[in-house]
Structures are given as C-alpha cells and as structure tokens.
Amino acid sequence: MISFFLFMATMVLLGIPSALLFIPWCWLTGNVLPLYKATRFMLSSSCRMAGVRFHVVGRDRIPPGRACIFMSNHVSNLDPPALISLIPGRTSAFMKRALMNMPILGTGFKQGDFIAVDRTGNAAAAQQAVTAAQAVLAKGVHFTAFVEGTRSPDGRMLPFKKGPFFLAMAAGAPIIPVSIHGTEHLWGKGSLRIHPGLAHIVFHPPIDPAAYATRDELMQAVRSTIASGLPEWMRT
C-alpha cells in the first residue's frame, strides 16, 4: 500500500498547484501546453515515486509532425499515465462523461480537447464523438484509444471496439499500434495495491488506414500487430 500512497500523494501534491496555476492561464491565453506539460510531469513523477519503471521500444517509429492515432491494449490503470507521458507532443482521448463533469479536473480535460463519451451504445452519440475526434486530429493533436474499451480483467486481449476504426478510416491519420504488458502485475484491475517493478511498452510502425478496404480488415491488422508485442498468454 505504500507505493499506492506515494502514487496518489504525488498526484495530489503536483496536481493541485498545477490546476490552480495553469487552468486559469489557459482561460486567459488559450494556451493549453503549460497545463498539458505539467500533467505529463505529474503522471511520470507519480509512477516513479511508486517504483514503476517502463522499458520503451519504438518511439522513433512515430512520424514527426503528423497527428497520429495511438491504439493500445489496456490492462491497468497505469496504462494512461504511461502513454500520456511517453507520446511526443499532445494527445487527446475519449473520456467517461462522469470524469469530464467533475469540478476542476473536468475543466482541465475539456481544455485539453478530451472528448466525453457515454457507454450507452447510442449510434448518434458515437458518431458525434468520432466527429469531435476528427476535429482534434485536424488541429495536429494526436488521439489515443484503448481499443478494447475497458481494462482486461486478467491481461488477455478482449474484443476491439469499432469506434476508433471508424475514426481512423474517416480521418486517414496513421495508426500507431501500442503493446503494453507488465502493468497488469504492477497494478491489477480492482486492486488498490501498486507493486514496484518494470513494465514494457512497444510502439509499432505506423499502419495506413487507406491500405485496407474495410474497417474489419484494418481492425484485424491492428489487433495482430498489438498481439505481436505481447507475451503468448495475453494474445488469446
């Protein structure tokens, strides 16, 4: 529990002053970068304080100066802090509406162009979210999606959601598949205990959505690529 306490304490000690300083700054200037950089520092510092380290492969495969869609498997609450800390430039993502409606925290998410979604299965709402994500990409901001839609309970890959692939086909932005493993042992789903240790993150070469005739073919290509960077037991 000590590692969990250190993680949360660092989030609070760095997050509160950052919010008080940089959220008003963004209101006044329209510049979200100081808030985003402070958030990245808070997240990476929290992981370090908890004894969580990342072995990263393939960041050099990310094309410079191009807004990309990062698609990753999802096995732990450590995955979002890791990716936000490691993706160069700024990234947006789909976010639960309940989080977007929280005081202060929700304001920061909105300033960072994060997009609220509901898990209702409503087709019109899903299309609205995809359209909003296209607008974010058009601004030159990356987009990150955990394509299973939720954390895997045991580390094994779950079926993929279709929304990120509608976005990829519509926007034509390069997809960067990302494989994450090890975080499922460091902070498992449903646990409040963080174990110090090493996790692994692989950024794969870009995939061009235009090279695939259908969304299903693109989804299978991304799934196979993510699986290739995972241990055998996680691929089923």
Cβ atoms < 10 Å from Cβ of 161: 18
* Model pLDDT for residues 16-33, shown as the tens digit of each residue: 999 999 999 999 999 999
Which of the following CATH numbers is that of domain 53-234: 3.20.20.70, 3.40.1130.10, 1.10.3720.10, 2.60.120.370?
3.40.1130.10
Report pLDDT digits (tens) over 36-95: 999 999 999 999 999 999 999 999 999 998 999 999 999 999 999 999 999 999 999 988
The conformational region for residue 132 under phi > 0 = left, psi -120 to 50 = alpha, else beta, is alpha
Residues 220-233, mean pLDDT to the nearest whole number: 97
Q: CB within 8 A of 142, min separation 6: which ones?
A: 67, 68, 69, 70, 87, 89, 90, 91, 92
**Higher pLDDT pick, 215 / 129:** 215
Q: What is the C-alpha to C-alpha distance for residues 125 and 97, in angstroms, rounded to an integer?
A: 12
pTM recorded for the entire structure: 0.94
